[in-house]
Structure 1
Amino acid sequence: MPASRSAPRTAPRRSAPIVTLAAALALGVPGLVPSATAHTPPTASADVYVSPAGSDSSDGTAQHPVSTLPRARDLARGRSAHQNADLTIHLAAGTYRVDGPLQLDARDSGQGGHRIIWQGAGAGTTVISGGRKVEGWQPVPGRPGLWSAPAPQGLTDTRQLYVDGVRGRRAGGEVPVSLTLTPTGYTASSDAIAHWRHPGDAEFVYTSGEALWNVERNGLGQWTEPRCPIAAAQGTTITMARPCWDNSTRRVEFPDRPGRTVSMVGPGTLTNKAKASYVENAFELLDEPGEWYLDRSARTVYYLPRPGEDPRSADIEAASAEKLVDGHGTAKAPLHDVAFQGLQFSYATWLTPSGPEGFSEIQAGYTITGAQGWATQGLCGFTPGGTCPFASWTKMPGNVSFSYARGIEISDSTFAHLGAAGLELGAGTADSTVRTSVFTDISGNGLEIGGVDGQTPASGIEVSDNHLYALPREFHGGVGILNGYTQHTTIAHNQLDHLGYSAISLGWGGWPDKIGSPATPNPSHDNAVRDNLIFDYLQLLDDGGGVYTQGLTGTSMADGEKVTGNVIHGQWGLGKSVYTDNGCTYETVQGNVLYGAAYANVAGRHTDYRDKLGNNDPTLIKDNWWEEGTADADSKGLVTTGNHIMSSLAEVPPDILAGAGIEPAQRSVLDRVTQAVSVPEAPARVGTSTGGADALYVIFNPSHVDGGSPVTGYTAHALRPDGTQAATASITAADFERQAYVRLGQLPFSQGPFRVTVTAHNARGESAPSLASAPLAPTVPVALPAAPTAAKVRAGSHAATLAWTPPAATGDAKVIGYRITVSDGRVIEVAGRDVLVTQPSGKGMFRVVGGLVPGRAYTFSIAAVTAAGTGPGAIAPTPPLP
């Protein structure tokens, strides 16, 4: 595997200090250079100076800076009318707290071909903050370890709290009652929730995923994680908030296609409405270090510190403002020629999910909203009264956003500790760049480009040399970069790693091909995704990809989307390296290095329903280095040619590997630190299977948030029915990456059934425990698994790809591995995440066997392995290698 080049996130960093003007001048802070004529009125093109120690009654010169962003904006407006050079607004080091967004419009544009530059002293040094500092912490009597503080003035609600830049977790845990579905919510098995302080603050979270082992699916598709608040709890009656509940449980279906929604995306209702995965935001669940709760009525913040944290001395920030910068022009009067350099945007929230709308997710952070959203929103001609265009659901907003803006440049900046999407370049944004910036610790999507609502598409956007990692933190169906309907967009030389779902997602509106209809027409064309380094993605959810695309990408192969030169590896959940999904048309996938994916490197076969000829959506898959091994073919518009089966990276031309990711001159962006080092986030989706008379096999999703220090290992904890610990088992992070499960032994049968939690470790310590698995008792498996099916060989010159489908019957245990026997005497043990999850999902598998001799014929046997032993082999002969 190539070096991951992930950022060393180890050094602690607290919020930037507020410095005095005198100190700034003495230290030579960038942007505060004394003027020789400090008291001379500024010329029309004179720069504006800002400092937290300044005064808005000053004139904005270097020696007399103003203190707020709106005042600096207004001074720049007055000085730009006769601009004959770039006008720079110098923001000295420090924290600039805002109650609402810095509003920019056409009046704030550069003039005469010049720019207005908002120049900070460096990301992490100049911070534009929507947070309110929480002070006055005191121990809570009768609750050892718990602290409280008065809510800051002006803070009415928030979804995020940060301690020295480390995100706290809203108090949450398992739903403490069993639930029975009703038309308005649930009937609970007891009135426990009704006795909480504020049951209306709590929200149910429905974690999705493939049905694997004994992990349940509770969401709206395995790529989503919807959330709905509780409206009220009285006795055993729990009423859920509307419209969220209706939008998540009543999505309209085709009358003649039961189970197929008119949206054609996911199920019509929550997969398991009678069981939320967990509940969040309740004081009664505040029991793990790192958790917090805001009692809005009492105006009190509660926090349970992690080891080593002292609330009295820590910088504790509650996100308050919902937007930091709002730059919006119009089609006739766009905002233009504005740059933002050396800034950090932090501590903004997003409160819509806390209200009646909740978070009824469709895909990639898009949601269904409105009282009749389930019945009409974005359903266009597919249902009476449907609104158009098709699939124009509600996009997650950006905490920093622009629309109808051109010539916007964002560079050397950081988007961190944010509660919605990080940066949104929306409709009508053109000829703009985002480069050498960091996106991390963001609740939803990292960067959003364009939209899907029929407005003017974004165009000419370049996103290059950025690092996007450890996201999303809250809305786990979010992606690193979301690109809607755009033109001439280039996403190049970025590094995206440690992502809960897909890394880069492009396109929209392709779902109608599920019912034999063509993809929705859209204005996209000439978009490129090239030379990016993508790894450790799909770490929480499934059915995504390193690069995911759906819908029409252009008007021909010439102007369709190009995915080239990327290195993509380390996929965890089910998906593809490059995922050409529904209706993806005119896509070129060429010259990429693709490996370590579950069930496909590239999925490119979809019927083209624009005519009745039965062709495939035109797609070119060419000259890639991959493990899939599909033979060259020209099948009705789907062309596969010149691809290379790779058994190791040594076979890949070094220049392809070296050319992917952030360019050498810009790689210092990987060293940028945004928070103090902390313990990792807890693993997720813990499942178990029998491992013998006294053992369980334990599977789980690793945390995609390592706390700024690499995860070194995991520990599984078996819990008796009374909650006491029965046994533990540990595994290193490296072994878990290879094997994907832990064997937890020495479990007395008589003390079961057992539930299992998992913790993660790094140099800082141990994470909070995960949510527990469903209970299971060890058993002695007897029946061996059946043989895999559909075994076949795809031969190259020195290697072959073996493909097979997991056995339909696995006996009384789950498949934990495969054994490949080669006719040359080799025995190859196959392990990994795909081994565990492809069997219940019915997905195929593949592995590359290298070291083969050209001209020689081979025979391969593939057998499944469970706790009962190794089953019979499926024989896959191959003709002599070329």
Structure 2
Amino acid sequence: MIKTKFIAAFAVFILHHHFIAATEIFVSPKGNNQNKGTKEQPLASLDAALRQARELRRLKNPAIKDGITIYLEGGVYQLEQPVFIRPEDSGTAQSPTIIKSLGKEQAILSGGINIQNWKKVTSKIAGLPAIAQGNVYVADVPIMADNVIDFRQLWVGGEKATRAKSTPDVKMDRILAWNKATESCTIEIPKSGLKYAPGMEMFIHQWWAIAVLRIKSIQTKGNQAELFFYQPESKIQSEHPWPAPWISKETGNSAYYLSNALAFLDEPGEWFLDKANRKIYYWPKANQQLNKTEVIAPVLENLVQIKGTAEQPVSHVKFNNVAFQYSNWLRPSQQGHVPLQAGLFLLDAYKLKIPGTSDKAGLENQAWVGRPKAAVEAAYTTATSFQNCRFQYLSSTGLDYQRGNLQDTINGNLFKDIGGSAILAGVFSDEAMEAHLPYQPKDERELTQNLQITNNLITNVTHEDWGCVGIGAGFVKGINIAYNDINEVSYTGISVGWGWTKTINAMSNNRIHANKIHHYAKHLYDVAGVYTLSAQPGSSITKNVVDSIYKAPYAHLPEHWFYFYTDEGTSYFTVKDNWCQAEKFLQNANGPNNIWTNNGPMVKTEIKQAAGLQKSYQHLLKEQVAADKRWEINFYNDAKK
């Protein structure tokens, strides 16, 4: 009997000792998933570490009562599929799951692939402009699952290369006309000529959004060409009234450029993907040596998916000091891209012959929207967080808390070099729900509530879809957007609200406080540093600093820019003590009970100085992208016009 008790006690000791060690799980790019996950024998992937942690929780071992920490050794983890975090991975307030970099070197979760073995092309390339002949390099495009990988961005030495396009540098041409009946656009044929090529696209600037249209055919007549497009974007682009192509004798028609054809590869820094022949061509800049430089193409659209349910949310999973890099964005290549606003793309939209809906008697159009992909997506979560992380080289949205989020935190992160919005939050419209209807779910667990977005540096974002925003929130409740620094944005800095409605809905008690927003509106107007929509009782915009609005070169209305813009239906807001250079605001079709107090250049200096990153986060400012010297800034004299 004594011997039996001794053996049982020894077994418990061994089991307990094993799981104590397992509360710290180690992962390394040089690891092996057959290892134990110790520091000496690390695993190779975050997926394997999450599984090990999941098993510890399933077995309810008491050794994890203080939590599980997954340490990622510094280096690149090239993902072959998104990391999926599910309810069974949840921790608790007392026993969280923490995923963090080990040591000073940051762990990088990458959705990209390195393109190597570049060779200079010495023979003539059919279809390449004469100016580029002898200057272009070529490499084989990697194959995945027997298919040539497709991508819309290329990063050379950490710098975004330009997808071959018809106009030089930042210049754009102007359309001549848009024919809604034939769903076609007329342009002037450039001096270099124009010939249809498979995969060719049109990028068009229209009011507060852009559109990307896949060209189906081109018909030429004299010095003009008529462009026709694929469905579904052809019908949507010609039927939706807001925002439509801009036609104006006073300010010029909508600007555009054509892209994705070998014939457009005529400048250093441009590239073209020839999928048919599995080749990629690139004209290096003067300082670039391709075989000594890292050239990365994004492959995965999602890097991390955190997906719970209303009944079982993912809880207490925390990322700390981890980098998320190189996400893809393929929708424009597959279905075109015609957004309504803030990057939310139209699924269908048209003008009503007889105005009026159940919520708005005078509404003259209807629209249904979808949501762009994000590098990191989170739905039905509780008390998850991203702190001290890096989101960079991403083709679409950086981080998206989509729905059912409660008391989550986004704090102290860097969002840089991102094609879409840095951060999105909350439901905008479900795909089956018309975009102008108030959203009030029967189950409040669907709402994104009490999300903290604080002390993040957001710089050089929205450079792919110009109509995206720094921080965008839809139907959210209790969101706190505070002490962020947002700059180098093509459109609006912070946008909160959706629906264009004065009707009370799911939104309330939202706070936009002490943010610093500058060097924005680089490409699109009908814009502001802070922009709101719809009724949001108990909400406030306080002590923010908004400055340095770019003179967008192709704005539909050159004067239609603002520091603060409460748009259609905005109600029950307090707008107080915000500093900006001039009292240039817009209150468009607002609802009741908005209070505006002490906004403009008269705001106290100490309020101005306190906006933006707080002291312990100001080290992030060394990552800030410098202002673009190619653009002028709108100043007070412009604001008085």
TM-score (norm. length: structure 1): 0.60
C-alpha distance 459-46 of structure 1, shift in aligned 2 (>3 A): same
C-alpha distance 589-606 of structure 1, shift in aligned 2 (>3 A): same
C-alpha distance 189-660 of structure 1, shift in aligned 2 (>3 A): closer
Quote how far apart the aligned CAs of 1:568 are.
Answer: 1.3
* 2:563 is the counterpart of 1:577: yes
| Aligned counterpart, 2:120 | 139
> For the residues of structure 2 that align with 1:519 and 1:395, how far apart are their CA atoms?
24
> For the residues of structure 1 that align with 2:343 and 2:627, how far apart are their CA atoms?
28
1:160 and 1:319 in contact (8 A); partners too: yes
Quote how far apart the aligned CAs of 1:195 are.
Answer: 4.6
> For the residues of structure 1 that align with 2:563 and 2:522, how far apart are their CA atoms?
13
> For the residues of structure 1 that align with 2:588 and 2:200, how far apart are their CA atoms?
44
| Aligned counterpart, 1:446 | 422
| Aligned counterpart, 1:299 | 278
Q: Of 407, 425, 436, which residue of structure 1 is paired with 2:401? A: 425
Gaps of 5+ in 2: 1-13, 125-132, 360-364, 430-438, 552-559
Quote how far apart the aligned CAs of 1:59 are.
Answer: 1.6
C-alpha distance 243-168 of structure 1, shift in aligned 2 (>3 A): same
| Aligned counterpart, 2:622 | 671
| Aligned counterpart, 1:621 | 596
Q: Of 514, 519, 523, which residue of structure 2 is paired with 1:531? A: 514
Quote how far apart the aligned CAs of 1:494 are.
Answer: 0.8
Quote how far apart the aligned CAs of 1:465 are.
Answer: 0.8
2:173 and 2:257 in contact (8 A); partners too: no
> For the residues of structure 1 that align with 2:636 and 2:152, how far apart are their CA atoms?
33
> For the residues of structure 1 that align with 2:588 and 2:117, how far apart are their CA atoms?
61
Quote how far apart the aligned CAs of 1:671 are.
Answer: 2.1
After TM superposition, list the pairs within 5 Å mapping 1:787-798 onto structure 2: none
* 2:51 is the counterpart of 1:68: no
| Aligned counterpart, 2:378 | 402
Deviation per residue, 1:158-211 (Å, 9 max, x gap):
011101111111000249998775715357887998855xx231110112xxxx
| Aligned counterpart, 2:433 | none
Letter matched to residue 230 of structure 1: I
Quote how far apart the aligned CAs of 1:411 are.
Answer: 0.5
After TM superposition, list the pairs within 5 Å mapping 1:185-264 onto structure 2: 185=184, 195=195, 199-207=197-205, 219=206, 222-233=207-218, 238-251=227-240, 261=241
Q: Of 82, 88, 93, which residue of structure 2 is paired with 1:101? A: 82
After TM superposition, list the pairs within 5 Å mapping 1:322-401 onto structure 2: 322-356=301-335, 358-369=336-347, 372-374=348-350, 381=357, 393-401=369-377
Corresponding residue SS for 1:204:
strand
Quote how far apart the aligned CAs of 1:138 are.
Answer: 0.2
Deviation per residue, 1:603-654 (Å, 9 max, x gap):
336464xxxxxxxx21111133x15xxxxxxxxxxxxxxxxxx3xxxxx534
Corresponding residue SS for 2:236:
helix
* 2:564 is the counterpart of 1:566: no
Deviation per residue, 1:302-356 (Å, 9 max, x gap):
1111121011110100011010001110101111110001111111111011112
Q: Of 551, 555, 579, which residue of structure 1 is paired with 2:534? A: 551
After TM superposition, list the pairs within 5 Å mapping 1:70-85 onto structure 2: 70-81=47-58, 82=60, 83-85=64-66
Quote how far apart the aligned CAs of 1:104 are.
Answer: 1.1
C-alpha distance 122-60 of structure 1, shift in aligned 2 (>3 A): closer
* 2:271 is the counterpart of 1:289: no
Letter matched to residue 592 of structure 1: N
After TM superposition, list the pairs within 5 Å mapping 1:431-580 onto structure 2: 431-453=407-429, 454=439, 456-510=446-500, 519-554=502-537, 559=538, 561-573=539-551, 574-580=560-566
C-alpha distance 94-436 of structure 1, shift in aligned 2 (>3 A): same
Letter matched to residue 65 of structure 1: P
- Runs of 4+ in structure 1 off by over 6 angstroms are 175-180, 187-194, 234-237, 272-276
* 2:637 is the counterpart of 1:845: no
Corresponding residue SS for 1:355:
helix
After TM superposition, list the pairs within 5 Å mapping 1:19-168 onto structure 2: 41-43=18-20, 46-81=23-58, 82=60, 83-111=64-92, 113-121=94-102, 125-141=106-122, 142=124, 143-154=133-144, 155-168=148-161
Quote how far apart the aligned CAs of 1:43 are.
Answer: 4.0
Quote how far apart the aligned CAs of 1:121 are.
Answer: 4.0
1:158 and 1:319 in contact (8 A); partners too: yes
Quote how far apart the aligned CAs of 1:487 are.
Answer: 0.9
> For the residues of structure 1 that align with 2:447 and 2:611, how far apart are their CA atoms?
28
Letter matched to residue 53 of structure 1: K
| Aligned counterpart, 2:611 | 660
Q: Please report the RMSD computed on the Cα atoms of aligned residues, expressed in angstroms.
A: 3.2
C-alpha distance 419-834 of structure 1, shift in aligned 2 (>3 A): farther
Quote how far apart the aligned CAs of 1:144 are.
Answer: 1.9
> For the residues of structure 1 that align with 2:273 and 2:535, how far apart are their CA atoms?
45
> For the residues of structure 2 that align with 1:112 and 1:361, how far apart are their CA atoms?
40
Quote how far apart the aligned CAs of 1:231 are.
Answer: 2.8
2:349 and 2:368 in contact (8 A); partners too: no
After TM superposition, list the pairs within 5 Å mapping 1:672-687 onto structure 2: 672=623
Q: Of 146, 163, 166, which residue of structure 2 is paired with 1:170? A: 163
Letter matched to residue 163 of structure 1: V
Letter matched to residue 405 of structure 2: T
> For the residues of structure 2 that align with 1:42 and 1:153, how far apart are their CA atoms?
42
> For the residues of structure 2 that align with 1:123 and 1:480, how far apart are their CA atoms?
28
> For the residues of structure 1 that align with 2:296 and 2:484, how far apart are their CA atoms?
30
| Aligned counterpart, 1:786 | none
Quote how far apart the aligned CAs of 1:276 are.
Answer: 6.3
Quote how far apart the aligned CAs of 1:447 are.
Answer: 0.3
TM-score (norm. length: structure 2): 0.82
Quote how far apart the aligned CAs of 1:564 are.
Answer: 0.8
> For the residues of structure 1 that align with 2:374 and 2:341, how far apart are their CA atoms?
16
| Aligned counterpart, 2:10 | none
Size of the aligned set, in residue pairs, is 571
Query: Quick one: percent identity of the two aligned structures?
Result: 25
| Aligned counterpart, 1:590 | 576
